[in-house]
């Protein structure tokens, strides 16, 4: 099972992140920054090790995203291929230029347009946070 956790400290203007197979995506302007997750699930696992905690400064961060792998693993498009991580990363930068409510609609529309009647292959969980640091 995969999971990501974030603890926001707005007094210090930072977020503490830990992820089990779910990376943290941050967009600053038009630049995507990725904090990699640990490559292990939660729960019972033969090669378990402590999870990494990352303290990340939020200066200039416009949006934060976390999602399951269901979007990039979805088959669709004109050739019935996977959406893939590269396309997802481009989409996140594009989404970040819009209000969070518009982002939701754009993500939904992009996913269903891509899927084009293909059977959904996995769960799709997506969290987007638009930051306004004062």
pLDDT digits 0-9 by tens, 26-72: 999 899 999 999 999 898 778 888 999 999 999 999 999 999 999 99
Give the number of other Cβ atoms within 10 Å of residue 130's Cβ. 16
**Dist. CA 100–CA 130, nearest whole Å:** 6
Question: Is residue 47 classed as helix, strand or coil in its secondary structure?
Answer: coil
Give the number of other Cβ atoms within 10 Å of residue 68's Cβ. 18
In contact, 74 and 115? CB cutoff 8 Å = yes
**Dist. CA 6–CA 64, nearest whole Å:** 10
Confidence (pLDDT) at 44: 79
Confidence (pLDDT) at 132: 67
Across the chain, what does the average pLDDT equal?
93
Confidence (pLDDT) at 33: 97
Question: What domains sit in the chain, N to C, each tagged with a CATH number?
Answer: 3-130 (3.60.40.10)
Least confident window among 17-31, 34-48, 112-126 = 34-48
pTM: 0.91
């Amino acid at each position: 099972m995969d999971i990501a956790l974030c603890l926001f400290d707005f007094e210090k203007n930072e977020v503490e992140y830990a992820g089990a197979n779910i990376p943290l995506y941050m967009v600053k302007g038009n630049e995507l920054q990725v904090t990699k997750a640990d490559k292990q699930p939660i729960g019972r696992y033969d090669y378990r090790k402590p999870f990494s905690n990352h303290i990340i400064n939020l200066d200039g961060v416009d949006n934060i995203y976390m999602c399951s792998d269901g979007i990039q693993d979805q088959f669709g498009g004109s050739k019935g291929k996977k959406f893939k991580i590269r396309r997802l990363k481009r989409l996140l930068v594009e989404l970040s230029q819009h209000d969070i409510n518009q982002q939701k609609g754009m993500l939904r529309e992009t996913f269903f347009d891509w899927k084009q009647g293909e059977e959904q292959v996995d769960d799709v969980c997506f969290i987007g946070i638009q930051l306004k640091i004062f």
